[in-house]
């Protein structure tokens, strides 16, 4: 009698360029967690619930990325104590703009991972992260009436 099939190994960054891209993606996840904690003070209750869900998603992605790097024998870069925002956050609209920026940065970082790796597991991970960030960015953009709500190619300049 045989047991269940072993779980596939976690995706691993295979070369320095890929490792650097994953470290950068981790950095954007750290920054997004920090940004969502900041903007919570400026949001109405319904938007705060959305922000809290997005915060949970970024924490999960951050933790998974830390595990991915650790499992590959790479020391994950630590979060900064604080991050510079593109503009001051003083009200709900500026808080929503910061959420859009955090998601745009996250999408760009994960797009960069896609460009630099061949591993199917890591590409799947990066694509999932890119899509998740693009969906969150579009949701926040729609709150401000930004048009188009989503960029034609999320994660690209």
Domain borders along the chain are 16-74+87-144
At residue 7 the predicted structure's pLDDT band, cuts being 50, 70 and 90, is very low
Contact 127, 133 (CB under 8 A): no
Q: In Å, how far from its chain's centre is CA 50?
A: 16
The verdict on domain 16-74+87-144 having CATH code 3.20.20.120 is no
Let me know if 123 is exposed, middle or buried by CB neighbors in 10 A (0-12, 13-18, 19+).
middle
pLDDT digits (tens, 9 = 90+) for 66-125: 999 999 999 999 999 999 999 999 999 999 999 999 999 999 999 999 999 989 999 999
157 vs 3, 22, 68, 80, 105, CA distance in Å?
Answer: 48, 19, 27, 25, 10
d(C-alpha 137, C-alpha 154), whole Å: 9
Q: pLDDT tens digits, residue range 59-68?
A: 999 999 999 9
Instruction: Give mean pLDDT, residues 17-28.
Output: 96
User: Where does the pLDDT of residue 150 fall: very low under 50, low under 70, confident under 90, or very high at 90 and above?
Assistant: confident
């Amino acid at each position: 009698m045989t047991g269940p099939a072993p779980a596939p190994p976690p995706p691993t960054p295979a070369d320095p360029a890929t490792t650097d891209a994953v470290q950068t993606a981790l950095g954007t996840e750290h920054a997004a967690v920090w940004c969502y904690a900041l903007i919570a003070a400026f949001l109405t209750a319904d938007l705060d619930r959305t922000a809290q869900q997005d915060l949970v998603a970024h924490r999960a992605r951050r933790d998974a990325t830390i595990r991915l790097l650790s499992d590959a024998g790479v020391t994950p870069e630590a979060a900064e104590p604080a991050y510079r925002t593109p503009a001051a956050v003083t009200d709900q609209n500026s808080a929503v703009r910061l959420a859009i920026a955090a998601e745009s940065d996250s999408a760009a970082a994960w797009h960069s991972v896609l460009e630099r790796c061949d591993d199917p597991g890591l590409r799947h991970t990066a694509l999932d992260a890119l899509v998740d960030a693009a969906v969150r960015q579009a949701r926040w953009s729609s709150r401000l009436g930004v048009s188009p709500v989503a960029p034609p190619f999320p994660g690209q300049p």
